[in-house]
Amino acid sequence: MHLHRPAGPGPAPAYLWAAAAVTGVALLALPLRDRLDLANIIMLFLLAVLLAAVRLGRGPGILAAFLSVAAFNFFFVHPRLTFAVSDMQYLLTFAVILAVALITTHLTTDLSRQAEVARGRELRMTALYEMARDLSAALSLEQIQEIVSHFVRRGFQSEARLLLPDAAEALQLFPPGNPAAAPPLALARDSARTGQPLTGDGWHLQPLKSPMRLRGILALAVGPGPWQETPEQQQLLETGASLVAIALERVHYIQVAQEAQLQMESERLRNSLLGALSHDLRTPLTALVGLADSLVLAGHLPREEEELAQAIREEALRTSALVNNLLDMARLQSGPVTLRKEWQPLEEVLGAALQARAPQLAGHQVRVELAADLPLLELDAVLMERVFCNLLENAAKYTPPGSTVTIRAEPDPCQADRVCIQLCDNGPGLPPGREQQLFEKFTRGRDESAIPGVGLGLAIVRSIVEAHQGRIEAGNLPEGGACFSIRLPVGNPPALPQEEA
């Protein structure tokens, strides 16, 4: 980067012009030297020096001053045609001429430099202003990239590249490709890591810091050699970089909002589709259950036919449970599910599940052991109730009547930020070696067994637990019996209201 030189003739002609001006004055004054007073002749030389200093710059001005002194001395001061000086006061005249030349050149070069600086500043301000205006209307990364290139060309007479983080947070050239003139990626990553501007390999790298985080790197082609920037340029680059960073952040949030909208739309569509399906499947099942009940309750059927009506009812209810499982599985597997998480005591969710499965567990002993220091957990109550319902239903199905089901919950002894919930029974246990397989869809503990089911229950359980950032494991107890362990994150439970008892 360098400043523009003042407009005007090049260096060599400028000195010639200065010499010519002095020669011109000397030639003009020579015929008049006997008629004009020396004081007036010196004024003519002074004029030439002044003009040379103003128009041609410092060097030519000084040359003009020396030539003027020499010419004045040689041609006009007695004894003429020598450089000898008879009257010592002319030395003062020479000194004044020289001083005028020096002061004038100093003043003019200073002025023109200031004008130059002002012009440059105005140019940069215009570039910055235009970029700010264009960026405020930019809606895509491509637009931002174009605006930045334009800005850097105008403000720095240089080429610019953008490096933006990709999905994996690794910096990549944007737009991708263009390997002919690419900034060094390794250096860019250093700059991104430290958040400091770096220079190397012919590029100056400026981090793009937005209020939230680093949004990328702006790379300027600076050519070989050390990067010299004036304070104004540095300020311009920093201001420009923060404008670009804010624009990138804005575009990022536009994308986030659009994706959220899309996801919401697709989930809404999915839910209304499943809702319609559920309605159409449940309506006939409702009629079946109700009509079968009507037959039984009317009370005038022979015993055998009453049993048939009961069987119809049971089968309809089983089909309904299957429909529920299939719909749940479809909802959980067809995309991200929005959990309705709320802080709640585990006891309540567990209680709802025990209530719902009370008929199936009527012949079993159920023991619940909840640690007193169990924190509130952030759960989707409906889905978590499904988890416990399915596990309890399995326990009821796969253990003989009279078995004991124990539910235990306590802060995880191994991980302080987790809660461990165990649901164990003292039945025959899980088939050894297949503990994890059980969580796959359509997998059952014992194939072709007389116990009804299609093997969706545990797959649903796992999906729900994982949606809560939890983990579930299955195993057998050393003393016999199956055991399911769920580990759920504790999070930051909210403060509870205080009330005087």
Partner 1 sequence: MSNTRPIPAEGPAPVVLIVEDEPQIRRFLRAALESEGCQTHETDTLARGLIEAGTRKPDLLILDLGLPDGDGIELIRELRSWSGLPVLVLSARTDEADKVQALDAGADDYLGKPFGIPELLARVRALLRRAHRGQEAGPVFAFGQIEVDLAQRLVRRAGETVHLTPIEYRLLTLLVANAGRVLTHRQLLSEVWGPNHVEHAHYLRVYMAGLRRKLEDNPTLPRHIRTESGVGYRFVA
**Binding interface with partner 1 (CB under 8 A):** 271, 274-275, 278-279, 282-291, 293-294, 297-298, 313, 316-317, 320, 324, 327, 340, 342-345, 347-352, 354-355, 358, 366, 368, 370, 376, 380-382, 385, 494, 496-497, 499-501
Is the Cβ–Cβ distance between 484 and 412 less than 8 Å? no
Q: Residue 292 CB, nearest distance to partner 1 (Å)?
A: 9
Residues 401, 429, 390, CA angle at the centre, nearest 5°? 70
Residue 164 vs residues 153, 183, 250, 494: alpha-carbon distances, Å: 20, 12, 14, 38
Comparing CB distances to partner 1, the nearer of 200 and 491 is 491
In the block, residue with structure tokens 């089911």? 453
Q: Return the number of the residue (80 or 340) whose C-beta is nearest partner 1.
A: 340
Comparing CB distances to partner 1, the nearer of 170 and 368 is 368
Element (H, E) at 408: strand 404-411
Give the residue with the Cβ less far from partner 1, 282 or 434. 282
Shortest distance, CB of residue 244 to partner 1, whole angstroms?
A: 39
* Residue listed under structure tokens 């311009």: 236
Nearest approach in angstroms of CB 417 to partner 1 is 19
Q: What is the 3-state secondary structure (H, E, C) of 151-209?
A: HHHHHHCCCEEEEEECCCCCEEEECCCCCCCCCCHHHHHHHHHHCCCEEECCEEEEEEE
Give the residue among 180, 135, 190, 130 at the shortest CA–CA distance from 154: 130
Contact 163, 171 (CB under 8 A): yes
Is the CB of 328 or the CB of 425 nearer to partner 1?
Answer: 328
Whether 215 and 248 have beta carbons less than 8 Å apart is answered as yes
**Closest CB 316 distance from partner 1, rounded Å:** 7
Q: Supply the DSSP symbol for 79.
A: S
Q: How far is the CB of 368 from partner 1 (least distance, A)?
A: 5
131 closest CA partner among 112, 111, 145: 145
Report the residue number, 297 or 454, with the smaller CB distance to partner 1: 297
Do you find a cis peptide bond into 497, omega within 30 degrees of 0?
no
Judged by beta carbon, residue 248 or residue 354, the one nearer partner 1 is: 354
CA atoms of 484 and 423, how far apart (whole Å): 5
CB of 309 to partner 1, least distance (A): 12
Q: How far is the CB of 481 from partner 1 (least distance, A)?
A: 21
Specify the residue, 102 or 366, whose C-beta has the smaller distance to partner 1: 366
The residue (of 311 and 358) whose beta carbon lies closer to partner 1 is 358
Beta pairing partners, 473? 485
Min. distance of Cβ 453 from partner 1 in angstroms? 19
Q: What is the DSSP letter of 338?
A: -
Please tell me the distance from the alpha carbon of residue 371 to that of residue 415, in angstroms, as a whole number: 16
Shortest distance, position 379 Cβ to partner 1, whole Å: 10
